[in-house]
């Protein structure tokens, strides 16, 4: 049995699923806050929309990682060679940064963005600062994405 | 409830906080040279005061603020510990109206958990068992006292005590620290106020025992023992509790004491200014709205009576916004 592929598929599935869950919960939370502000003042829709979008990026990063993994390992094209269990485990490990950081950073960013929505509600002129505060969390999701992508692209040299 | 379930509510409340007067705006109303100018400055912030009878406009404004809270609260029972005291106040009004054969129109406290008209129907038909559980015992006690002795002050004190004890009980059931803290402050302040009056009017210890509610700030037994010894002992007792400030304020006047109590509640709520989730910002908004209405009432009344700016400042409560 090809256990290596099992680990690769598990990595791809979790990379797409967990950051996706974080982003779904995150955008949902900020969406509630944004709806509260827009209910009082529809003119603030544009400002709060940017904040709502921010926690959604981790889901995209996870999706990107999963696609790259499936493509690089040949699973997507149907040309996948035999992978040993430890080769599969290496690919799985490469996905871990975006799996873990993607999930937690989306949830943390949602809280920062929801706080930003409250800031916009009280003081619309400060929306730029609110976006910066929430965007700071993005740094760690981007770093995790880079580590996952670079590892997946270069891991073949190890075998 | 999980704190994140209040996200929509808190965002709407934050938007509505812009409708409240800031400290600067309140200051500009205080410094207005005339009543007319003060009203004009208030009307710019959405108050619709047209003449010297400002009460209807203020009541309408408070109803608007409450309407917002009522709309956004995911679970309305969370607010019971705060507004239950208005139901007890309404019960007192209804009891007296029943005994004296008077009307209760326009006297009810707002907002309340239960409909005052339904309470009135139960009291006037003497169907005590149809009253909400929290009001049944107070209703029985107050009715017995009023009908047998006509001692309205005792009836009021017994009802007020029940009100405080049920507020604490409801807050504990809600398992929310901010609501419990506020209920504890309300109760402690009410206890201090009633005991201070008891000392001034020479009431017996038995009256004090029936009027004072249990709270965590001090032991009921100890504070009554101190009050029974006189004013100095009572104030000395308070000076060793977290209500030392209350003792200092009550020495000045009861108005200063009431101001201190309101400021204490606002100071507890000040920390919620940065909170994004949970019920605390909504509770803070309610108290902020109440404080604003109270402040405006004080300012306009003072302007009409030609009181000085200094006198007004001594009475005005701290602003939340």
Q: Say how far apart CA B90 and CA B107 lie, in whole Å.
A: 8
Which residues from B are below 8 Å from A115, CB to CB?
276
| Residue % of chain B over a pLDDT of 90 | 73
- Among chain A residues, the shortest Cα distance to B274 is held by A115
- The model's confidence at residue B42, banded by pLDDT at 50, 70 and 90, is very high
pLDDT of residue A82: 87
Q: Would you say residue A150 has pLDDT above 90?
A: yes
Crossing angle of helices B231-238 and B177-201, in 10° steps, is 160
Question: How many Å from the N-terminal Cα to the C-terminal Cα in chain A?
Answer: 19
ipTM for the predicted complex: 0.80
- Among chain A residues, the shortest Cα distance to B72 is held by A36
Q: Do A37 and B11 touch (CB under 8 A)?
A: yes
Q: Which residues contact A87 (CB under 8 A, 6 or more apart)?
A: A4, A159
Average pLDDT, integer, range A115-131: 93
Q: Would you say residue B320 has pLDDT above 80?
A: no
Closest by CA position to B154, among listed B145, B143, B167: B145
pLDDT of residue B321: 72
Q: Which residues contact B60 (CB under 8 A, 6 or more apart)?
A: B48
- The minimum CA-CA distance between A32 and chain B, rounded to whole Å, is 5
Which residues from B are below 8 Å from A36, CB to CB?
7-15, 72
Minimum-distance CB partner of A118 among B4, B11, B72: B11
Q: Would you say residue B15 has pLDDT above 70?
A: yes
Q: Which residues contact B154 (CB under 8 A, 6 or more apart)?
A: B145, B207, B210, B211
Q: Do A36 and B4 touch (CB under 8 A)?
A: no
Q: Do A41 and B15 touch (CB under 8 A)?
A: yes
pLDDT of residue A1: 58
pLDDT of residue B151: 87
Mean pLDDT check: name the lowest of B3-7, B153-157, B171-175, B196-200.
Answer: B3-7
B142 within 8 A of B162, measured Cβ to Cβ:
no
| Residues B275-295 pLDDT 10s | 888 899 999 999 999 999 999
Using the structure block, give the residue that is written with the tokens 């009980």. B169
| Residues B98-110 pLDDT 10s | 988 888 777 898 8
Q: Tokens at residue B97, please?
A: 């109206």
Average pLDDT, integer, range B58-73: 92
pLDDT of residue B168: 94
Average pLDDT, integer, range A66-85: 90
Q: On the CB side of B48, how many CA atoms lie within 13 Å of its CA? A: 7
pLDDT of residue B83: 93
- The minimum CA-CA distance between B237 and chain A, rounded to whole Å, is 43
- The minimum CA-CA distance between B15 and chain A, rounded to whole Å, is 5
- Among chain B residues, the shortest Cα distance to A124 is held by B15
Averaged pLDDT score across all residues of chain B: 91
Which residues from A are below 8 Å from B7, CB to CB?
29, 32-33, 36, 114
| pTM as predicted | 0.85
- The model's confidence at residue B1, banded by pLDDT at 50, 70 and 90, is low
Average pLDDT, integer, range B170-193: 92
**Torsion over CA: B207, B119, B109, B186 (sign):** positive
pLDDT of residue B100: 86
| Residue % of chain A over a pLDDT of 70 | 99
Which residues from B are below 8 Å from A33, CB to CB?
7-8, 10-11, 276
Mean pLDDT check: name the lowest of A50-54, B149-153, B163-167, B308-312.
Answer: B149-153
B13 within 8 A of B321, measured Cβ to Cβ:
no
Residue boundaries of the structural domains of chain B:
3-79+163-315, 80-162
Cβ neighbour number for residue B279 with a 10 Å cutoff: 24
Q: Would you say residue B150 has pLDDT above 90?
A: no
């Amino acid at each position: 049995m090809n256990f290596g592929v099992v680990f690769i598929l598990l990595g791809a599935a979790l990379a797409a699923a967990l950051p996706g869950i974080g982003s779904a919960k995150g955008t949902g939370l900020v969406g509630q806050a944004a709806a509260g502000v827009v209910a009082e003042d529809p003119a603030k829709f544009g400002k709060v929309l940017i904040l709502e979008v921010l926690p959604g990026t981790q889901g995209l990063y996870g999706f990107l990682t999963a696609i790259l993994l499936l493509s690089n390992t040949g699973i997507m094209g149907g040309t996948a060679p035999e992978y040993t269990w430890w080769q599969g485990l290496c690919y799985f490990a490469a996905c871990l940064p975006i799996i873990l950081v993607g999930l937690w950073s989306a949830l943390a960013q949602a809280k920062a963005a929801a706080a930003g929505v409250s800031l916009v509600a009280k003081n619309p002129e400060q929306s730029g600062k609110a976006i910066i505060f929430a965007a700071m969390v993005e740094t760690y999701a981007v770093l995790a994405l880079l580590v996952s992508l670079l590892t997946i692209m270069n891991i073949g040299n190890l075998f | 409830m999980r704190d994140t379930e209040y996200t929509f509510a808190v965002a709407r409340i934050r938007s509505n906080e812009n409708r409240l007067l800031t400290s600067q705006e309140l200051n500009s109303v205080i410094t207005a040279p005339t009543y007319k100018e003060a009203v004009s400055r208030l009307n710019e912030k959405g108050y619709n005061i047209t003449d010297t009878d400002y009460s209807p406009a203020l009541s309408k404004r408070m109803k608007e603020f409450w309407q917002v809270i009522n709309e956004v609260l995911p679970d309305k029972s969370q607010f019971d510990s705060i507004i239950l005291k208005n139901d007890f106040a309404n019960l007192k009004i209804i009891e007296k109206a029943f005994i004296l054969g008077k009307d209760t129109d326009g006297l009810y406290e707002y907002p309340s958990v239960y409909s005052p008209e339904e309470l009135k129907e139960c009291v006037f038909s003497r169907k005590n068992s149809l009253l909400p559980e929290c009001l049944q015992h107070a209703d029985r006690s107050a009715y017995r006292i009023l009908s047998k002795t006509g001692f309205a002050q005792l009836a009021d004190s017994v009802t007020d005590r029940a009100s405080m004890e049920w507020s604490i009980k409801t807050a504990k059931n809600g398992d929310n620290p901010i609501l419990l803290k506020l209920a504890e402050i309300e109760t402690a302040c009410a206890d201090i106020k009633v005991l201070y009056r008891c000392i001034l009017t020479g009431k017996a210890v038995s009256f004090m025992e029936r009027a004072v509610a249990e709270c965590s700030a001090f032991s009921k037994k100890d504070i009554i023992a101190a009050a029974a010894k006189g004013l100095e002992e009572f104030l000395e007792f308070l000076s060793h509790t977290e209500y030392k400030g209350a003792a200092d304020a009550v020495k000045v006047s009861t108005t200063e004491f009431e101001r201190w109590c309101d400021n204490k509640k606002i100071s507890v709520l000040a920390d919620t200014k940065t909170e994004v989730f949970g019920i605390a910002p909504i509770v803070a908004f309610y108290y902020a709205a109440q404080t604003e209405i109270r402040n405006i009432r004080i300012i306009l009344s003072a302007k009409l009576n030609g009181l000085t700016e200094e006198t007004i400042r001594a009475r005005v409560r701290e602003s939340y916004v």
